[in-house]
Amino acid sequence: MKILYEGKAKIVYQLEGEEDKLLIHFKDTATAFDATKKAEIVGKGVLNNTISSILFKLLEERKIRTHFIKKVSEREMIVWKAKRYDLEVVVRNVAAGSLCKRLGIREGEKLKKPLVEFFYKNDELHDPPICVDHALLLGLANRRELIHMKRVALLVNRVLKSFFREHDLLLVDFKLEFGKLPDNQIAVIDEISPDTCRLWDAKTGEKLDKDRFRFDLGDLIEGYKKILEKVQGG
């Protein structure tokens, strides 16, 4: 298969004879701080593929459109080909990460309501936060598309918050990416995993996500396995 794109955490292949479909391979590479911190962590790709597949299926069941078609191996899923928007949409329920740095809010403080932020997906500029008018100025999406993405992101938040709460996990924040599918619908794409979500143990407050790697808080695989066990009901 032809490689269309290789990123920090995934390789995207074009499926032969099926121009509308892609195969995503999840790598074991972990990166942080614009890839200035990097490591190979055996098993990470398997866990991210499995967790993403579970969460994409959940969203599809709730009538939220995604690019997900099916999981085909431990490390791979087949998805619809999508034209990606150069935007990251972040939803925050609890203060953590860059929000605390930028606004001086104490980590762990519950927000009065979910906060939606847009970021310009641009490695050279280090994915800066932008407002709607910036997105319009840069031609990243039109106003209708931006409104739709925000509405879907809040809907995803409601679904995931409830799901994780049932499994003793606190959804602190998460990042979504969007793309336009072959049928012209806007859908959630990329992945939804401990690489893209902050997830804390609801009882102990233990951080189980990629912050374990970022800030040397413990074994990354141990944290991801705990998430998988919880969402599978183990």
Minimal CA–CA distance to 195: which of 44, 37, 67?
A: 44
pLDDT of residue 234: 55
Compute the distance between CA of residue 188 and CA of residue 56 in angstroms, rounded to an integer. Answer: 9
3-state secondary structure of 45: helix
Compute the distance between CA of residue 117 and CA of residue 32 in angstroms, rounded to an integer. Answer: 20
Domain ranges of the chain: 2-80, 83-219
In tens, the pLDDT along 214-231 reads 999 999 999 999 999 999
Name every residue whose Cβ is closer than 8 Å to that of residue 100 and which is 6 or more positions away in sequence: 106, 107
Q: Is 83-219 the same fold as 2-80?
A: no
Question: Distance between alpha carbon 144 and the CA centroid of its chain, in Å?
Answer: 22
- As beta bridge partners, residue 129 has 119
Report the mean per-residue pLDDT for the chain. Answer: 97
The rounded percent of the chain whose pLDDT value lies above 90 is: 97
pLDDT of residue 46: 98
Question: Distance between alpha carbon 66 and the CA centroid of its chain, in Å?
Answer: 12
Q: Which amino acid is at 128?
A: P
DSSP string, 6-20: E-SSEEEEEPTT-TT
CA dihedral 68, 201, 94, 26 (to 10 degrees): -30
What does the DSSP 8-state code read for residue 105? P
3-state secondary structure of 119: strand
Mean pLDDT of 7-19: 95
Q: Which phi and psi (to 5°) does residue 155 adopt? A: -65, -45
Q: What is the 3-state secondary structure (H, E, C) of 141-207?
A: CCHHHHHHHHHHHHHHHHHHHHHHHHCCEEEEEEEEEEEECCCCCEEEECCCCCCCEEEEECCCCCE
The rounded percent of the chain whose pLDDT value lies above 70 is: 100
CATH superfamily of 83-219: ATP-grasp fold, B domain (3.30.470.20)
Mean pLDDT of 178-199: 97
Euclidean distance between the first and final Cα of the chain, in Å? 36
CATH number of the structural domain 2-80 = 3.30.200.20
In tens, the pLDDT along 110-152 reads 999 999 999 999 999 999 999 999 999 999 999 999 999 999 9
The answer to whether 210 and 195 are in contact (CB under 8 A) is yes
pLDDT of residue 233: 81
The answer to whether 75 and 48 are in contact (CB under 8 A) is no
